A and B are shown apart, each in its own frame.
Chain A
Amino acid sequence: MADVELRAITKRYGAVEACADVNLHVADGEFVTLLGPSGCGKTTTLNIIAGLDEPTSGEVLMGGKVVNDLTPYERDVAMVFQNYALYPHMSVADNIGFTLRLRKRPRDEIRRRVQTVAEMLELAHVLERLPRELSGGQQQRVALGRAVIREPAVFLFDEPFSNLDAALRVKMRVEVKELHQRLGITSLFVTHDQEEALSLSDRIAIMRDGHVEQVGTPDDVYAQPRTRYVARFIGSPQMDIFTGRLERRDGITAYVVGSAAFEIPGEAAPTCDGELDMGVRAEHVRLNAGGIPMPVRVVQPLGSMTYVTIGWDEELLTSRLLGMAHFSPGEAVTVSLDPAGLLFFDRESGRRVLPDGALA
Chain B
Amino acid sequence: MTIDPGAVARPTGRSYLARRRRTGTLLVLPALAVLALILALPIAASLALSLMDADTADFRFGVFVGLDNYRTLFADPVFALALRNSIYWMVVEVAVVVVVALWFALLLNHPMGRWSVFRIILLVPWALAPVANAVLWKWIYNSSYGILNFLGTATGVLPDPVVWLGDPGLALNALLVAEIWKEIPFITLLLLAGLQNVPRILYRASRLDGAGPWQTFRFVTLPQLRTTILICIVLQSIWALKSFDLVYVLTRGGPANATTMLNFLAYRVSFQFGNLGLGAAVADILFFVMFLLALAYVRVFRPARAAERGVA
User: Which residues of A line the B interface, CB within 8 A?
Assistant: 51-54, 68-76, 102-103, 150-153
Contacts and interface: CB of A to CB of B under 8 A. Distances in A.
Given A71-B19, A72-B16, A153-B2, 19 more contacts: A51-B15, A52-B17, A69-B14, A70-B15, A71-B9, A71-B11, A71-B14, A71-B15, A71-B16, A73-B8, A74-B3, A76-B1, A76-B2, A102-B8, A103-B7, A103-B8, A150-B1, A151-B1, A153-B3
Contacts, number: 39
Contacts of A153: 1-3
B15 A69 contact: yes
Given A70-B11, A71-B9, A74-B11, A54 B1 contact: no
B208 to A, nearest CB: 35
Contacts of B3: 74-76, 153
A348 to B, nearest CB: 35
B13 interface: yes
B8 A54 contact: no
Contacts of A68: 15
A113 to B, nearest CB: 12
Contacts of B2: 76, 153
Nearest to B4: A103
Given A76-B1, A76-B2, A153-B1, A54 B15 contact: yes
Instruction: Kindly name the residue among A68, A69, A76, A153 whose own CB sees the greatest number of chain B CB atoms within 10 A.
Output: A69
Given A76-B2, A151-B1, A153-B1, A53 B11 contact: no
Nearest to B10: A74
Contacts of A51: 15-16
Describe B's contact surface by its main secondary structure.
loop
Interface string B77-111: 00000000000000000000000000000000000
B5 interface: yes
A75 B8 CA distance: 12
18 contacts: A51-B15, A51-B16, A52-B16, A52-B17, A54-B15, A54-B17, A69-B13, A69-B15, A70-B11, A71-B11, A71-B16, A73-B9, A75-B3, A102-B8, A103-B7, A151-B1, A153-B1, A153-B2
B119 to A, nearest CB: 29
Q: Which of B3, B9, B13, B19 has the most CB of A within 10 A?
A: B3
Contacts of A53: 17
Interface in B15-36: 15-17, 19
Contacts of B5: 74
Contacts of B15: 51, 54, 68-71
Nearest to B19: A71
Contacts of A152: 1
Contacts of A52: 16-17
Q: Which 5 A-B pairs have the closest CB atoms?
A: A151-B1, A71-B16, A76-B3, A69-B13, A103-B7
A73 B11 CA distance: 10
Contacts of B11: 70-71, 74
B259 to A, nearest CB: 53
Nearest to A152: B1
A52 B1 CA distance: 21
Contacts of A75: 3
B84 to A, nearest CB: 51
Nearest to B14: A69
A52 B18 CA distance: 10
Nearest to A104: B7
Contacts of A71: 9, 11, 14-16, 19
A10 B3 CA distance: 27
